[in-house]
Amino acid sequence: MTKSNDRDQVLIFDTTLRDGEQSPGATMTHQEKLEIAELLDEMGVDIIEAGFPIASEGDFAAVTEISKRTRTAVICGLARAQLGDIDRCWEAIKYAKNPRIHTFIGTSPLHRAIPNLTKDEMRNRIYETVSYARNLCDNVQWSPMDATRTEWEFLKQACTIAIEAGASTINVPDTVGYTAPKESATLIARLIEEVAGSQEVVWATHCHNDLGMATANALAAVGAGARQIECTINGLGERAGNTALEEVVMALKVRSDIMPFSTKIDTKKIMHISRRVSTVSGFPVQLNKAIVGKNAFAHESGIHQDGMLKNSATFEIMKPEDVGLAGTSLPLGKHSGRAALRAKLTDLGYEVGDNQLKDIFSRFKELADRKKEIFDDDIIALVSITGDSSDDKLKIVSLRVLCGTGGPAEATLEMEVSGEDAIATEFGDGPVDATFKAVRSLYPNTASLQLYQVNAVTEGTDAQATVSVRLEEDGVVTTGQAANTDTVVASAQAYVSALNRLFVRREKFGSGTDKKEISYKELS
């Protein structure tokens, strides 16, 4: 059981790999899930919700491998209120040093109506499934989905039944981001006060950000007695996202004067994992995002700059170093060697192997030949976005684009397709459109473009552009990212990267998504 002996300690339950991955287009590869799980464990996350084992073979394999590898954190798997789900979940997490089964059922009137269960039938289902899970694992978490829109008496009864059946954690989800801080606090306080056995379990809060109040609602719940926060890196999640781990952790750290609670999170690792999750998910972090946004520690106003020069505390309530952010530019150039690059990568929080360093160094030299000044963010882009793999089906050899004001753009692309060189020239409404058409000419596909997004890594006309591309074909969604001082080249590389991932997924899972669609009807 994960239960803090210190009533002032708040457990951090990270669901980036489960709820976060449910964001449309945020699906991660098997290796990326293993990497993120390792980073979460290293930074001190108490519980990692590694996935939904019944959802797909891919999810089951990832949860199983994470269970075997994780050293410290509790590994949790999600299961609906069905015995088959719970069995499948246990099969995946049983290898963990500290396994947990998390089972749930929708308790609000709207959610009860979908599987068409009466209140009595739902009470029986809760007791049956929680007790079944408890016989498999001594650490069971139960959630009444859409709790904040559930009638009080029924919610109270449901929580009581779950505790009687053996649940050790009761999570109270604000599934659709409906509640507000005062209401969130009142609900938690009332449950703790009135539910029988409430002092024997950990109360948790799981908030969504549909009204922009997820962080505030989570912290209000903690103030009322909750001692576990469910959250994700960068607030990743369905619709408007979940409570952001970095926000609640830093809020508790900075404002310990009014929120005297602690976590085990090594906050200096926050920026690194934020960037990695952004890269593998294909979801860029907004510039003004709290804690991890590019502008979070930037000061442009003259008054602010003057204050910062005199005393940084005038306009910064936390130090950039506290979240693992380096505050200086990188004084490296085309004459710098591998040792200097490795040292700087270490300063930025990256430990890389010799082969990875060789790849990064090669791309660093290419970048140094094109840019006058290289910044920390340039290096981060190089290390976060991997180069071509020797196993890639598609590889760009060269790209030449001609643009004019009086007609369409022309793109001539040479590409290696399954080891064979091919070349095509296409015209389009702009250089990117022409380039993408050239790719499709050389590698015909029916993938539709769901997202095309460009962000400048640093300032200046020679800045690297980071391009994110999301493709969908037959229900399979993949993302690709690339960085280059030439935006069109970065676009081509990102597009090809997404196609390579699509090819791998098609080969592994066949047509259709690797995620099995789960309906509420299956609950009944």
Strand partners, 473: 476
Model confidence at 146, in pLDDT bands (50, 70, 90)? very high
Section 223-238 average pLDDT: 97
Dist CA 177 CA 17 (whole Å): 20
523 has pLDDT over 50: no
Model confidence at 331, in pLDDT bands (50, 70, 90)? low
Query: Nearest-CA neighbor of 334 among 385, 371, 384?
Result: 371
* Cα 502 from chain centroid (whole Å): 20
pLDDT tens-digit series, residues 160-178: 999 999 999 999 999 999 9
Supply the Cα-derived Rg of the chain in whole angstroms. 25
Main-chain dihedrals φ then ψ at residue 506, nearest 5 degrees: -65, -40
So what's the pLDDT on residue 480?
86
Model confidence at 477, in pLDDT bands (50, 70, 90)? confident
Q: Do 168 and 156 contact (CB within 8 A), yes or no?
A: no
Model confidence at 510, in pLDDT bands (50, 70, 90)? low
Ranges of beta strands (E only) in 191-261 are 202-207, 228-231
SS3 string of 27-78? Answer: CCCHHHHHHHHHHHHHHCCCEEEEECCCCCHHHHHHHHHHHHHCCCCEEEEE
* Cα 442 from chain centroid (whole Å): 33
So what's the pLDDT on residue 306?
53
So what's the pLDDT on residue 305?
47
Residue 374, C-beta contacts closer than 8 angstroms, at least 6 positions apart: 330, 332, 333, 364, 367, 368
Q: Do 448 and 465 contact (CB within 8 A), yes or no?
A: no
Section 10-24 average pLDDT: 91
339 has pLDDT over 70: yes
Assign 267 to helix, strand or coil.
Answer: helix
So what's the pLDDT on residue 109?
94
So what's the pLDDT on residue 18?
95
Residue type, 103: T
What's 284's DSSP letter?
P
* Tally of CB atoms within 10 A around 60: 19
Dist CA 237 CA 234 (whole Å): 9
So what's the pLDDT on residue 514?
44
pTM: 0.78
pLDDT tens-digit series, residues 393-425: 899 999 999 987 778 999 999 999 998 999 999
So what's the pLDDT on residue 26?
76
Higher pLDDT pick, 59 / 371: 59
Q: Do 96 and 70 contact (CB within 8 A), yes or no?
A: yes
Q: Do 158 and 188 contact (CB within 8 A), yes or no?
A: no
pLDDT tens-digit series, residues 359-377: 888 888 888 887 777 777 7
State the Cα angle at 276 between 10 and 104, rounded to 5°: 45
Section 227-239 average pLDDT: 96
H/E stretch holding 433:
helix 431-442
Please classify residue 404 by burial: count the beta carbons closer than 10 Å to its beta carbon, then call 0-12 exposed, 13-18 middle and 19+ buried: exposed
Residue 510, C-beta contacts closer than 8 angstroms, at least 6 positions apart: none
Model confidence at 475, in pLDDT bands (50, 70, 90)? confident
So what's the pLDDT on residue 455?
83
522 has pLDDT over 50: no
99 has pLDDT over 80: yes
Maximum separation of any 2 CA atoms in the chain, in Å: 76
351 has pLDDT over 90: no
SS3 string of 70-109? Answer: CCCCEEEEEEECCHHHHHHHHHHHCCCCCEEEEEEEECCH
Token digits for 484? 């280059």
Task: Please report, for residues 399, 423, 446, 467, the alpha-carbon distance to residue 410 in angstroms, rounded to integers and kept in the order given.
Answer: 11, 13, 22, 20
So what's the pLDDT on residue 476?
81
Residue type, 19: D
So what's the pLDDT on residue 517?
41
Sheet-wide strand order for 394-402: 394-402, 409-417, 420-428
Q: What is the residue whose two structure tokens read 């209120």?
A: 81
So what's the pLDDT on residue 315?
63
pLDDT tens-digit series, residues 257-270: 999 999 999 999 99
Query: Nearest-CA neighbor of 143 among 194, 76, 91, 64?
Result: 76
pLDDT tens-digit series, residues 250-297: 999 999 999 999 999 999 999 999 989 998 888 888 888 999 987 787
Q: How many CA atoms lie within 13 A of 90 on its CB side?
A: 17
Length of the chain: 524
519 has pLDDT over 50: no
Token digits for 413? 């692309």
68 has pLDDT over 80: yes
300 has pLDDT over 60: no
